C-alpha cells in the first residue's frame, strides 16, 4: 500500500543515479573501490579511523561480537525496547542476551538497571541509540571503567547524532549503523561498523571476506580463519556514497522538520514527546510521540493516507526471547509504555510544512 504522506522517502537524485550508473558501466559490481570510498566517507564524517561496510546492521552486529571474541557462556546486556536484531545478534554468536528495561522518557537503556544486571559473565553491553537519540557516554564510560566491559553500540538509526560534540560512531568500542530504506542514508540494504581499534578493523574485514588475509610466509591469498560473505557491493555503496556527499544537508533538513513538529505539538496534553539525552544532539531518524490508544490512532491516520508507524518492539513480549538462553529482568515498565504508546510520524526529504501541519491536525483530531 502506498501512502499520500509516507513515513520516509529514499533520497534518490541525479547524482545517486550517476554514481550507480558509473558502477554499472565499469562492470565492477562486487565489493571494490566504491565500497572503500563509502567506508572512508563514513569514517571521516563520524571522526573515527575505521569503517567497514556490511550487508546490513544485523550482520555487522554479529561480526562485531565475533571479533570481540564473544560467544558461548558470555552475557551481553541489551535494552528491551529495540528491534529484535539487537538481541538476535547476541544469540547468533551463541552468547546470552541479558534484557533490561529502558528509561520511559528517553527510550534508551536504563543505565542503573544495566549496572544491576552485570554479572561475572558480562562481556559487553549493546546499548541502542534508538531513533537517533544519542547515548549518554558519561554514564557508559563510567560503567566501562568500573567493570571492564566492551561497548558495542547498535546505532542502526543514529548516523549524525552526537553526544558532547562527538558523533555517534566515535564513542563506542564498535558502533554499527544501518542503511535500510527506513534510514535517511540508504543503500537498499546495508550496514557499517566503525571502530578506533585497528586489530578489530582487520578482523571485521577478514571475516566478511571468507577469512581471507595475508601471511608473510606465503604468497597470494591465504585463508587464515573461517569467515563468510557479508560484503557490500560497489552498486549499493554508490548509493550511499552519493548521499554522504550531502549528509549534513539531509540531516539539517530533518532537524528543521523536527523543530517544526515540536512547535506544532507544543503544549499538547495528550501527545507527549520523548526526551533527548542531555548534552546530546538527536539525528531525528524517527520522530516519535507518545499517545494513548496508539493502535487505534495509527489505524485512523493510515486510513487518511498518513503512514504513521509503531516505534519498535518490546523484546520480552516476543516468543523468540521467552525461552532458554535469555536472561530477563523482573519488570519492564519503561519498555511496556514505549511499546504501547510510541507512534512515529512521517518525516522525509522535501516534506512540506503544509504536510506536517496536516499530520499534526489529523493526529490531534484522533487523540480527542
Ligand atoms: C535498533 C535496530 N537495530 C538493528 C536493526 C536492523 O538493521 P538492518 O535491517 O540493517 O539489519 C534495526 C532496523 O531498523 C534497528 O532499528
Sequence ranges of the domains in the chain: 1-368
pLDDT recorded at residue 111: 98
Residue 169's φ and ψ, nearest 5 degrees, are 110, -20
Q: How confident is the model at residue 219 (pLDDT cuts 50, 70, 90)?
A: confident
180 lines ligand 1 (CB under 6 A): yes
Spacing, Cα 177 to ligand 1 middle (Å) = 8
pLDDT over 90 at 120, yes or no: yes
Domain 1-368 has CATH 3.40.640.10: yes
Which band of pLDDT confidence, cut at 50, 70 and 90, is reported for residue 220?
confident
Least confident of 165-169, 266-270, 313-317: 266-270
pLDDT digits (tens, 9 = 90+) for 235-275: 999 999 999 999 999 999 999 999 999 999 998 999 999 99
Task: Report which ligand 1 atom has the smallest distance to the Cα of 128.
Answer: 1
Are the C-beta atoms of residues 110 and 123 closer than 8 Å to each other?
no
Interval between CA 121 and ligand 1 midpoint (Å): 26
Atom of ligand 1 at shortest range from CA of 191: 10
CA of 347 to the centre of ligand 1 (A): 18
In this predicted structure, the answer to whether residue 1 has a pLDDT above a threshold of 80 is: no
Which of the residues 17, 144, 167, 183 is marked catalytic? 183
**What b/e readout covers 178-204, taking b as 16+ CB neighbours within 10 angstroms?**
bbbebbbbbbebbbbbbbebeebbebb
Q: Which atom of ligand 1 is nearest to the CA of 58?
A: 11
> Measured from the CB, is residue 98 less than 6 Å from ligand 1?
no
Determine the Cα angle at 206 with ends 201 and 211, to 5°: 155
208 is catalytic: no
Task: Give distance in angstroms: CA of 58 to centre of ligand 1.
Answer: 6
279-309 confidence digits (pLDDT tens)? 999 999 999 999 999 999 999 999 999 999 9
How many whole angstroms separate alpha carbon 168 and alpha carbon 287? 18
Q: How far apart are CA 180 and CA 189, in angstroms?
A: 5
Does 126 sit in the ligand 1 pocket, CB within 6 Å? no
Gap from CA of 305 to ligand 1 centroid (Å): 25
Q: Are 123 and 74 in contact (CB under 8 A)?
A: yes
Mean pLDDT of 63-91: 98
Q: Is the CB of 53 under 6 A from ligand 1?
A: no
Amino acid at each position: 500500500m502506498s501512502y499520500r504522506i509516507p513515513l520516509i522517502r529514499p533520497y534518490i537524485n541525479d547524482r545517486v543515479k550517476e554514481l550507480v550508473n558509473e558502477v554499472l558501466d565499469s562492470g565492477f559490481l562486487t565489493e571494490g573501490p566504491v565500497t572503500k570510498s563509502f567506508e572512508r566517507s563514513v569514517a571521516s564524517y563520524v571522526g573515527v579511523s575505521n569503517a567497514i561496510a556490511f550487508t546490513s546492521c544485523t550482520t555487522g552486529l554479529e561480526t562485531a561480537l565475533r571479533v570481540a571474541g564473544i560467544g558461548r557462556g558470555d552475557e551481553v546486556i541489551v535494552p528491551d525496547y529495540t528491534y529484535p536484531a539487537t538481541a538476535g545478534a547476541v544469540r547468533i554468536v551463541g552468547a546470552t542476551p541479558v534484557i533490561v528495561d529502558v528509561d520511559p522518557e528517553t527510550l534508551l537503556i536504563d543505565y542503573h538497571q544495566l549496572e544491576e544486571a552485570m554479572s561475572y559473565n558480562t562481556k559487553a553491553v549493546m546499548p541502542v541509540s534508538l531513533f537517533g537519540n544519542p547515548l549518554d557516554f558519561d554514564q557508559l564510560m563510567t560503567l566501562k571503567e568500573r567493570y571492564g566491559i566492551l561497548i558495542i553500540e547498535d546505532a542502526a538509526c543514529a548516523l549524525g547524532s552526537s553526544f558532547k560534540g562527538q558523533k555517534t560512531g566515535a564513542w563506542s568500542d564498535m558502533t554499527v549503523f544501518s542503511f535500510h530504506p527506513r534510514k535517511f542514508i540508504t543503500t537498499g540494504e546495508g550496514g557499517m561498523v566503525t571502530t578506533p581499534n585497528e586489530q578489530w578493523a582487520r578482523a571485521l574485514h577478514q571475516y566478511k571476506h571468507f577469512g581471507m588475509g595475508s601471511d608473510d610466509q606465503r604468497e597470494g591469498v591465504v585463508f587464515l580463519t573461517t569467515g563468510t560473505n557479508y560484503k557490500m557491493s560497489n552498486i549499493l555503496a554508490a548509493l550511499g556514497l552519493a548521499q554522504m556527499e550531502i549528509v549534513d544537508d539531509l540531516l539539517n533538513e530533518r532537524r528543521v522538520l523536527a523543530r517544526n513538529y515540536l512547535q506544532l505539538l507544543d503544549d499538547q496534553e495528550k501527545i507527549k514527546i520523548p526526551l533527548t539525552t542531555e548534552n546530546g544532539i538527536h539525528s531525528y531518524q524517527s520522530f516519535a510521540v507518545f499517545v494513548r490508544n496508539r493502535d487505534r490512532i495509527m489505524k485512523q491516520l493510515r486510513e487518511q493516507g498518513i503512514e504513521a508507524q509503531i516505534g519498535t518492539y518490546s523484546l520480552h513480549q516476543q516468543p523468540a526471547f521467552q525461552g532458554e538462553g535469555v536472561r530477563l529482568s523482573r519488570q519492564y515498565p519503561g519498555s511496556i509504555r514505549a511499546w504501547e504508546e510510541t507512534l512515529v510520524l512521517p518525516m522525509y526529504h522535501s516534506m512540506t510544512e503544509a504536510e506536517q501541519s496536516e499530520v499534526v491536525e489529523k493526529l490531534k483530531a484522533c487523540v480527542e
